[in-house]
Every structure is written in C-alpha cells, then in structure tokens.
C-alpha cells in the first residue's frame, strides 16, 4: 500500500481511477471533463505527488517550477507538446505517455477524412439538411478518385504507417514520405519512397500529417508550402493544428492552390462555429477525435495509470518520454 496522492486533472475513463485505487493510491478525481483553470491546476497539484493529465492541461515552465516536488507526470495522450519536457528534465520529473494503443483509431480517422473529403461528404450531408437534394445531376456533386494516387506522409511513424497501409490496401496508392530519420522497415513493407520536404509537397495527391508538434514543425504548412502543392491535392491533418497556419490554409483553398482538406485538429482548438472552413465544399472537419473510441480511450487510461503504478512499485514506466533522467 502507498499513501501517495494522485491528481486526475479531469474525468478520465473509470478504469484509471480503479487501477490507481486498487494499487493503494489516494486519488483525487473530478466529475467533469472540462479542464481546470490554470491557477486551480497549479494549486491542486501542489497537494499531490503525481498528476495524470492530458493535451489541454498546460504543464508549462511555470507549472513545473511551482510543482517541482512532483514524483511523476503521466500524460493521457501520445503527443506531449503541452508539457515542457526540458523543464521536467531539469527538475528530474519523469513523464509518461500513451503511444501504440491509439495508432489504429487515429489512422482510421485520417483515412476516413481522406475518403470523406475526396467525395465532399460533409458538405453534401449539410446540403440535404438545407433542402437542396432536388434531382439527380450528372455533372454536380463530383468528387475525385483515390485509386493509384500518391499518398505523401509527413512523419512515417506508427500512425503514418497504418494510414499508408490502409491507403495501399484500399486504393493501391503509391507511398512517399518525409521524416527526420528514414524508416527502413516501412520502406520495405510499403514500398515507400523517402523524398525531400519539397518533393513531398510537389508530388502528393493526398498529403497526410503524422508528425509531432515541435519547433521544426510549428507553422510548417504556411502559404509558401500550400503554394507548392498540387491544385488537385487533399491536405489531411490528424497530428496537431499548430503544424498548419489556418488562415493560409483557408486562402489556399479559396485560391485553388489545394483542392480539399480533412482536419481532425485545428488552429486554434476548439474551432469557432463561424470558421469559413466549415462552409467549404471540399473540407471535412472533426473535433480532435483521433483516439476517440471506447476501446482506445480505455487502453490509454490503463497505460496512463500503469505508468504511475510502475513508477512507484519500481517495475518501471512502460512508456516514458524522458527515460534518461531515471538513470
Ligand atoms: C494524442 O494522443 O496525442 C491525441 O492527439 C489525443 O487523442
């Protein structure tokens, strides 16, 4: 038994609380999914030994300074751009995260957005609600086909690879990619070709983002990047909204520099209801639901809880962002 206190920053799937309580932790949880105000998050964390948090919790420099006593931070997400890892390292705080378990669910959303965008499905759904389904029109409502087209992946890691597998299986798409490091295994499995970032922009019929948000990728898809893309290309973002510049994307779509866009992440989040993207024919937007299946969210909750339990019982954290600090 331990008397360590764990703060869950909002209501997570119940299994996380159950596992932590069973392991003897004193758990503070909330009965809302709404994020805490920053002051409250900082203040509450001061009375706890560990924190289980997620994307919109700002675990920034100030937070970590004020909570340098924390033994462990466990993130419920694969991305951890909300956490100042540099500062966590300085304070010697290990940070857990939840990779792998959300790979398929997120690749499904990228693939679904690609298909839905290519056939204007969200817009046409809205047009029925608006009473515009009148008669069969041979030259209207036309989308574009995906068969034998080229999929460009920025970030051919776990999720990018699953997206590429789906695209090859369903549409025999040719796969090109750009990464910081080459992915030899995926090149073999998918016959994927490594290309420069510029080539990725110029050659992709569908360009799908699966990269992390960092200083190199922030704002990478701006006016100059969209201008280099094919006017028939579909842009898919299920990584982080800050990788694209939304005003530039809107302009590129209006000017016909890219054909369409499917977004699971936006910039900012949440997207405002009056965002022009929501009215565009060739655009599909969903509210950051990449990992949102019952099964996946339960698995993420288990991993996030297990990272805390493993840290304290010395079995180790199965998924840790900064393992070097434990050495
Ligand atoms: C993640 O895990 O980083 C996703 O964006 C949240 O589902």
CATH superfamily of 5-100+294-326: NAD(P)-binding Rossmann-like Domain (3.40.50.720)
Q: Is 269 a catalytic residue?
A: yes
Task: Please provide the average confidence, as pLDDT, over all residues in the chain.
Answer: 97
Q: Is any ligand 1 atom within 6 A of the Cβ of residue 291?
A: yes
- For residue 1, pLDDT over 70 is answered with no
Q: For 27-66, how does the pLDDT look when each residue is reduced to its tens digit (9 = 90+)?
A: 999 999 999 999 999 999 999 999 999 999 999 999 999 9
E strand map for the chain: 5-8, 26-28, 50-53, 72-75, 95-96, 150-154, 174-178, 193-194, 206-209, 234-237, 260-263, 283-285
Q: For 47-57, how does the pLDDT look when each residue is reduced to its tens digit (9 = 90+)?
A: 999 999 999 99
- For residue 230, pLDDT over 80 is answered with yes
CATH superfamily of 103-285: NAD(P)-binding Rossmann-like Domain (3.40.50.720)
CA of 209 to the centre of ligand 1 (A): 13
Contact 247, 223 (CB under 8 A): no
CA of 312 to the centre of ligand 1 (A): 25
Per-residue confidence (pLDDT) for residue 327, from 0 to 100: 81
Q: Is any ligand 1 atom within 6 A of the Cβ of residue 262?
A: no
Kindly report each contact of residues 131-134 with a partner whose C-beta sits within 8 Å and lies 24 or more positions away, as own/partner: none
Per domain, the residue ranges of the chain are: 5-100+294-326, 103-285
Which atom belonging to ligand 1 lies closest to the Cα atom of 76? 2
Q: Is any ligand 1 atom within 6 A of the Cβ of residue 78?
A: yes
Which atom belonging to ligand 1 lies closest to the Cα atom of 265? 5
Q: Do domains 5-100+294-326 and 103-285 have the same CATH topology?
A: yes
Contact 236, 207 (CB under 8 A): yes
Q: Which of 75, 78, 72 has its CA nearest to residue 91?
A: 72
Nearest CA residue ID for atom 3, ligand 1: 79
CA pair distance 225, 244, nearest whole angstrom = 10
Contact 95, 322 (CB under 8 A): yes
Q: Is any ligand 1 atom within 6 A of the Cβ of residue 290?
A: yes
Q: Is any ligand 1 atom within 6 A of the Cβ of residue 265?
A: no
Q: Calculate what percentage of the chain has a pLDDT beyond 70.
A: 100
- Please tell me which residue in 240, 244, 297, 319 is annotated as part of the active site: 240
Nearest CA residue ID for atom 2, ligand 1: 77
Which atom belonging to ligand 1 lies closest to the Cα atom of 79? 3
Q: Is 34 a catalytic residue?
A: no
Q: Is any ligand 1 atom within 6 A of the Cβ of residue 79?
A: yes
pTM of the model: 0.97
Q: Is any ligand 1 atom within 6 A of the Cβ of residue 213?
A: no
pLDDT band of residue 2 (cuts 50, 70, 90) is confident
């Amino acid at each position: 038994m331990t008397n360590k206190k764990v703060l869950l920053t909002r209501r997570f799937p119940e299994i996380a609380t159950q596992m932590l309580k069973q392991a003897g932790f004193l758990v503070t949880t909330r009965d809302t999914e709404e994020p805490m105000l920053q002051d409250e998050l900082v203040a509450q964390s001061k009375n706890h030994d560990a924190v289980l948090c997620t994307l919109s919790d700002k675990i920034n420099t100030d937070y970590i300074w004020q909570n340098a006593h924390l033994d462990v931070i466990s993130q419920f997400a694969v991305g951890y751009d909300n956490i100042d890892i540099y500062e966590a390292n300085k304070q010697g705080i290990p940070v857990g995260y939840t990779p792998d378990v959300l790979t398929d669910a997120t690749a499904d959303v990228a693939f679904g957005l690609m298909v839905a965008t290519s056939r204007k499905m969200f817009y046409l759904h809205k047009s029925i609600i608006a009473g515009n389904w009148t008669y069969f029109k041979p030259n209207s409502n036309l989308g574009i086909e995906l068969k034998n087209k080229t999929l460009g992946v920025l970030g051919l890691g776990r999720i990018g690879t699953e997206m590429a597998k789906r695209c090859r299986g369903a549409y025999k798409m040719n796969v090109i990619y750009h990464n910081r490091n080459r992915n030899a295994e995926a090149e073999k499995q998918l016959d994927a070709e490594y290309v420069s970032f510029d080539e990725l922009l110029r050659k992709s019929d569908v360009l799908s983002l699966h990269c992390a948000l960092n200083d190199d990728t922030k704002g990478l898809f701006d006016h100059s990047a969209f201008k280099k893309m094919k006017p028939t290309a579909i842009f898919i973002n299920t990584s982080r909204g800050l990788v694209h510049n939304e005003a530039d994307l809107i302009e590129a779509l209006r000017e016909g520099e890219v054909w369409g866009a499917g977004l699971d992440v936006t910039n900012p989040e949440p997207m405002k209801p009056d965002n022009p993207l929501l009215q565009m024919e060739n655009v599909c937007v969903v509210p950051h639901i990449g990992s949102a299946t019952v099964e996946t969210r339960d698995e993420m909750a288990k991993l996030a809880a297990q990272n805390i339990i493993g840290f304290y019982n010395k079995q180790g954290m199965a998924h840790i962002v900064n393992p070097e600090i434990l050495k």
